[in-house]
Structure 1
Amino acid sequence: MNKLIFVLLFVLLCNGLNAQRKLGSSGASRERLDPQDTISRGSSSRFGSKSNKKLETKIQDYLIISHKNDTTFVDTTLTIQKEYKFNYLRKDNFGLMPFSNLGQTYNSLTYNFENTSLMPGFGARARHFNYMEIEDINYYRVPTPLTELMFKTAFEQGQLADSFFSVNTSPQFNFSIAYKGLRSLGKYQHVLTSTGNFRFTTNYRTKNNRYNVRGHIVTQDLLNQENGGIIDDNIDEFETGDPEFIDRSIFEVNFENAESILRGKRFHLEHNYKIIREKDSLSNNKLSIGHIISFEDKYFQYDQTTANTSFFGDAFKTIGLKDRATLENFYNQVQLNYSNNIIGNLQFNISNTNYNYGYDKLVVLNGNTITNRLKGDVFSAGGKYQKQYKGFDLQGEMGLNISGDFDGNYIKAKATFKLNEDIAASASLNHSSRAPNYNTLLYQSDYINYNWQNSFNNIETQQLAFNLKYKQLLNVSVDLNTINDYVYFKQDENTNQVKPFQNNNSITYLRVKLENEIKFGKFALNNTILYQNVQDENNVLNVPELTTRNTLYFSSHLFKKAMYLQTGVTLNYFTQYYMNDYSPVLAEFYVQNEREFGSFPRLDFFINAKIRQTRIYLKAEHFNSAFTGYNYYSAPNYPYRDFTVRFGVVWNFFL
């Protein structure tokens, strides 16, 4: 009943209220305006005003507010970073190795162990790369209606499209609606993908800015056909470049009768009321109360028409296999926020998480009954702190589960120092203790060996991180991680089937990442280099020692500055390592230490152009595939993409 009341309340608020917080505040981040970043018409009526008077509109007025209230503005420039983000995820995917078809999963070449979550994750992590979480949703404030259309070709039949629209009906009220859809057949047998991400956001603030509210509705469905990769007998034909197998649809795959889907919907609402509000910038005391309420319902399902016992082992039934794990998560948090010019900004919060994870049936295995649900309530307490002190920005955050079946805690501290406009440095410390993902604690399947109930210890992580940034010339980040009781997937030595294990030794994991760009005239060399070192006696955390991306490109205005052009070549490369294998029935990657993969270059040639607010992208992907050797894999038995040419466009409208 509480969940139903919440949904009804949310819908009512969406129809009448909702807005961003801290718009235009002194803490908002402002990027420098690039000469490319202009609006084609010079003026328009703002915020739906009925006045005939035209007010000048600037690109900086089209604001984007993140989950953390960091504020930027719409960017229509054409940069090398835009080239890196023009992909299925719409974000820089450095450190991820895509599978052959668009919309499939990614093999991770690096891991970030910073954590501020107190609850287990859902699982099926291989399906979550394009699953939009709360922190992935932005909110907007725009003086005139804003539209963005994105299109990119896929593999064989299909395409990728992302459409977005936002409008302020008044200076106080904004809503946005967006949908990203993909359908791609792929080059190999039975790898069709069909995905959709619908987003609706809304935000409102009263005229006196005392009450602020924002929220979103997100529904997502991510469907993939599964084929288990090409069969072992075809590996030689692929790696030798046998001309008869250049048509990839000829390859025989392990099965052609399975598919998996991750589907979820979320209703999220945040609002706050200022009890004592600032009268001016010199106000000493501010006091507000806040409330966050969120409900998410999701499931992962694996379907197979007939059992493949040679690949997954014995099954309870031979036809119509269906594994479905569900999670209902209902979250409430109450906050008390206080700020003072002397002590800084303080927040105290109390949270409740009502969770219900599991299956609709009981499984009896070897005389033991495996429970079908993990459900209950967890109550947590936490706090945040932020203070500007003598050039330092000090931040702290902590949380602790105080009751319920799951123990958990975290603490995070960060200090940032900005020497001048060009140089900034930061240091952070993060400690976390959290239960492993639900699917490692409880799993049920029609395949006999994929049923378990475990009582693992919490995963304990400590991370010490540093960052130094100097203009665009240098950005260095270092983090040192210690992981205890790490939970991972691996093939069981007795059954050869994949199951979760807990590492009994401590893992030390070091990452050093260097980013820089060197310009000489209209040419530039952009470099991203990642060095990783793992000290792990059991070899359960495998990453390449060196991962690099290097782009040499040319940029210039053409046709009396009517068009801006960028063209160049990008090299992606990582050293050989024991790359994780992929389990379709679990939608998880698992550890294998039998064969190393890597040391193959991937060269992409691109020509990108900007005409007014339209960016056009043309890329020849992996054009070296035919002459540098057919040893490129996304995972064992899953070859990476061959040479292909793809086209795309991003178009902004400012009405």
Structure 2
Amino acid sequence: MYIICLLCIYVAASSAQAHIILPDSTQITSDPDSLDMLPPAVPSPQVPKQASPPDSINPITSISSWRIDPRTGDHIPAVMDTLLFNFQHRTLPDSYSVAMGFLGPLGSPSISKLFLDREETDNFVFNNAYSPYLADPTKQVFLNTRVPYARLNYQSGGGDQTKEERFLAELSMNFGKNLNVGLEGDIISSKGYYNSQAVKSNNWKLYSSYVTDRIELHAFLNSGSITNFENGGITDDNFIREPDSVDQSFTSQTIPVKFTKTWNKIKNNQIYVSGRYNLGYTVPTTDTLRSKEFVPVASVVFTSHYKQQYRRFLSYDTAAVAVNGVPMQRIDTFYNNRFYKGAVDDSVRFSSFKNTVALSLREGFRDWVKFGLTAFLEYDLRQYSMIDSTSSGRRFSHRENAVTIGGVLSKQQGENFLFNIRADMGVLGANLGEFMASGTIETGFEIAGKRTTLTAEAYLKNLRPKYLQEHYHSKYYWWDKEWGDTRRVYAGGKLFIPFTNTTFHLGVENIQNYIYFDRDRNITQENGSVQILSARVDQNLHLGVFHWDNQLVYQTSSNEEVIPVPLLSVYSNMYLKTKIVNELTLQFGVDAHYHTSYYAPGYEPALLQFYNQREKQVGNYPIATIYANMHLKQTRFFVMYYNAASTIWKPREYFSLPGYPVNPSIIKLGVSVNLHN
């Protein structure tokens, strides 16, 4: 019904001018190195024009890009995927954080080892492990383009038995100057370098926007699935650390693992629509292209977001074995409890239908109106389904409602003082008593013509436990508990110094009643408080064609049993950047991720969660890559030698998580083509 209504509105609004805008051959530039095929378009007042970074493959001035706030419908400037340098690094799982933990293959479950980089626990808790690969309205970049735009990305590495591939394609075009429709597909296929470790992921997105002075409509449809074959980790670390000590010949795929024929599967389907009607007035303008300009005063906003999510843990590793005279299946030997008989087949279903109404007073419609103000009311209907009985396999459903009120106070115009303050509170239903308030303040000043910026940020949260944190039923884990609210208080800031190209980050957080999985993989709650201190320095140096970019993060936790973190994490990238000829740009260098040794989180496939193990330390080893990254006209391409340090650095300690080494040294290739004509 939403799709039909939305299409009817689009057709009615654009019927007078619904045609594909094709490029005018008389306006195409003759510059062979230019990617600006058309002169800049005049942006709509409601569509922010985002300046491209200096190292962008192409400003693409005929395209506007933005994201939206899922509750208020506000436009947030966004940069398209056009960055010229370090393209090869963004194709790796390591790129999502300075220190990242993952199972090895692209698309596998992952967790940031920087605690302040981790997202809040999702209502569907199984999504957190796949967060970098999941689509969401908050991540979607909407476009408005004068000419059809297409983007094709492909990367590949490994041989026939271990090949890792990712293909991403996007097509976006306008029908008239206001209506845009885009389609994007993202496919990952990783066979894995270790036994029973393949990953298959399919993610499809359809997005659209219709933007005029008074009406702003956005739609986002997504269907995605990830199937991750689980092996529980390798059984003996010496196959990686000291391969010469192993008295047998082997390859990475023949290293013994805990179990086989076992996998996790995640499905995510969602529909999001946002409608915004702007109230305002028109004023004369001196612009020769438009005689009048619309000034928005207030807005009425309605958003609706429906999600349908599913997780299944299934195993055919059912060979009969006996432990102390007790018959069981092979995979059962790795778990202490078995709450039902037969093969493992656990599943959880979740759906959410969230509707939000908002009223907004727009910033700047009068000189004395120095800020914008938005108030919203949100209703969320959630439903869960899982196993009910340990004997019959029956299922039960749980339904809950959540009503939230909140507001946003912001100032985003000007240069010397900007702020954004948000607060919301649960007033009815499952989130009664939940409260979140956050704020960001930014100021800047000129020194010798260069702008130095100082940003302060803070939040205060009182979070109700998620339903799946209190109730979960499966073959190996079964609990029904009542947890207290988690309280989080954070304060931090950021300073950017343009003269030295240095950015300092400092933050401290206090967490009370933190919910986590302990060393026995049981969910528990820390009644006391844990403090996390994080200090980060980003320093970029260059001399002529030589560049050296560094990110250094210091962390400390007051209770490593509850929140373990590496003391020091580093990403360093040393490279040469130059033009070989006028049409070919080359970046050649070596980069590495490194962190000090610590008790990194363990991974439990049956829970699809990370837990605080205290048996093995991971770290003190560089995951290094030698690469060449090139740009030719509208094309970027790279070749890299991943995990290069393992060929000379012994003992080999390239474990990302306990029992899970990263891929051995391999050659990877990739190409990206942007077409906008």
TM-score between the two structures when normalised by the length of structure 2: 0.84
In structure 2, the partner of 1:137 is 140
* Cα offset, 1:153, TM superposition: 0.6
Cα pair distance change 1:33/1:582, threshold 3 Å? closer
Residue 573 (structure 2) pairs with residue 575 (structure 1): no
Preserved contact between residue 577 and residue 597 of structure 1 (Cα < 8 Å) = yes
Cα pair distance change 1:10/1:167, threshold 3 Å? same
Residue 571 (structure 2) pairs with residue 541 (structure 1): no
Residue 456 (structure 2) pairs with residue 409 (structure 1): no
Map residues 620-639 of structure 1 onto 2, 5 A cutoff. 620-628=641-649, 629-639=651-661
* Cα offset, 1:318, TM superposition: 4.6
Query: Which residue, 407, 413, 418 being the options, matches 2:444?
Result: 418
Residue 348 (structure 2) pairs with residue 325 (structure 1): yes
For 1:126, the aligned partner's letter is A
In structure 1, the partner of 2:52 is 31
Q: Which whole-Å CA distance do the structure 1 matches of 2:4 and 2:482 have between them?
A: 38
* Cα offset, 1:158, TM superposition: 4.8
Preserved contact between residue 96 and residue 108 of structure 1 (Cα < 8 Å) = yes
Query: Which residue, 515, 536, 541 being the options, matches 2:538?
Result: 515
In structure 2, the partner of 1:458 is 485
In structure 1, the partner of 2:404 is 380
Preserved contact between residue 264 and residue 312 of structure 2 (Cα < 8 Å) = yes
1:279-324 CA distance string (max 9 Å, x none): 4799997111001101000011100123422112343455432111
Q: Which whole-Å CA distance do the structure 1 matches of 2:548 and 2:481 have between them?
A: 50
Residue 344 (structure 2) pairs with residue 303 (structure 1): no
Preserved contact between residue 157 and residue 667 of structure 2 (Cα < 8 Å) = no
In structure 2, the partner of 1:468 is 495
Cα pair distance change 1:166/1:364, threshold 3 Å? same
Query: Which residue, 622, 635, 652 being the options, matches 1:601?
Result: 622
Cα pair distance change 1:73/1:315, threshold 3 Å? closer
Q: Which whole-Å CA distance do the structure 2 matches of 1:389 and 1:557 have between them?
A: 37
- Using the TM superposition, name which of 128-137 and 321-330 deviates more: 128-137
For the aligned residue pairs, the C-alpha RMSD in angstroms reads 2.8
Residue 614 (structure 2) pairs with residue 589 (structure 1): no
Cα pair distance change 1:580/1:13, threshold 3 Å? farther
Cα pair distance change 1:258/1:390, threshold 3 Å? closer
Cα pair distance change 1:248/1:114, threshold 3 Å? closer
1:298-352 CA distance string (max 9 Å, x none): 0111001234221123434554321111110000000001135434210011110
TM-score between the two structures when normalised by the length of structure 1: 0.87
Query: Which residue, 592, 602, 614 being the options, matches 2:635?
Result: 614
3-state SS in 2 of match to 1:136:
coil
* Cα offset, 1:429, TM superposition: 1.3
Identity level (%) = 18
Preserved contact between residue 10 and residue 267 of structure 1 (Cα < 8 Å) = no
Cα pair distance change 1:124/1:264, threshold 3 Å? closer
In structure 1, the partner of 2:130 is 127
Preserved contact between residue 63 and residue 73 of structure 1 (Cα < 8 Å) = no
- Using the TM superposition, name which of 545-554 and 633-642 deviates more: 633-642
Preserved contact between residue 85 and residue 629 of structure 2 (Cα < 8 Å) = no
Query: Which residue, 9, 34, 52 being the options, matches 2:5?
Result: 9
In structure 2, the partner of 1:356 is 383
Q: Which whole-Å CA distance do the structure 1 matches of 2:309 and 2:216 have between them?
A: 29
1:110-150 CA distance string (max 9 Å, x none): 12279789x84533522333112221111111111111100
In structure 2, the partner of 1:51 is none
* Cα offset, 1:442, TM superposition: 1.3
Preserved contact between residue 96 and residue 132 of structure 2 (Cα < 8 Å) = no
In structure 2, the partner of 1:49 is none
Unaligned ranges ≥5, structure 1: 39-57, 493-497
In structure 2, the partner of 1:106 is 110
Preserved contact between residue 61 and residue 73 of structure 1 (Cα < 8 Å) = no
Cα pair distance change 1:414/1:77, threshold 3 Å? closer
3-state SS in 2 of match to 1:320:
coil
Preserved contact between residue 600 and residue 617 of structure 2 (Cα < 8 Å) = yes
Q: Which whole-Å CA distance do the structure 2 matches of 1:283 and 1:8 have between them?
A: 29
* Cα offset, 1:459, TM superposition: 1.3
Map residues 71-470 of structure 1 onto 2, 5 A cutoff. 71-72=77-78, 74=80, 76-80=82-86, 82-87=87-92, 92-112=96-116, 120-155=123-158, 156-206=162-212, 209-231=213-235, 234-242=236-244, 244=248, 247-277=251-281, 279=283, 286-305=297-316, 306=318, 307=329, 308-339=331-362, 341-343=367-369, 344-359=371-386, 361-363=387-389, 372-387=396-411, 391-407=416-432, 408-420=434-446, 421-447=450-476, 450-470=477-497
Query: Which residue, 528, 547, 553 being the options, matches 2:575?
Result: 553
1:397-418 CA distance string (max 9 Å, x none): 1000110022311011211002
3-state SS in 1 of match to 2:570:
strand
Cα pair distance change 1:390/1:473, threshold 3 Å? closer
3-state SS in 2 of match to 1:123:
helix
Q: Which whole-Å CA distance do the structure 2 matches of 1:245 and 1:321 have between them?
A: 33
Cα pair distance change 1:563/1:455, threshold 3 Å? same
For 2:428, the aligned partner's letter is S
Q: How many residues align?
A: 610
Cα pair distance change 1:230/1:266, threshold 3 Å? same
In structure 2, the partner of 1:43 is none
For 1:564, the aligned partner's letter is T
Preserved contact between residue 93 and residue 100 of structure 2 (Cα < 8 Å) = no
3-state SS in 1 of match to 2:527:
coil
For 2:653, the aligned partner's letter is N
* Cα offset, 1:372, TM superposition: 3.6
3-state SS in 2 of match to 1:125:
helix
3-state SS in 2 of match to 1:624:
helix
Q: Which whole-Å CA distance do the structure 2 matches of 1:614 and 1:330 have between them?
A: 41
For 2:488, the aligned partner's letter is T
Q: Which whole-Å CA distance do the structure 2 matches of 1:300 and 1:583 have between them?
A: 15
Preserved contact between residue 88 and residue 160 of structure 1 (Cα < 8 Å) = no
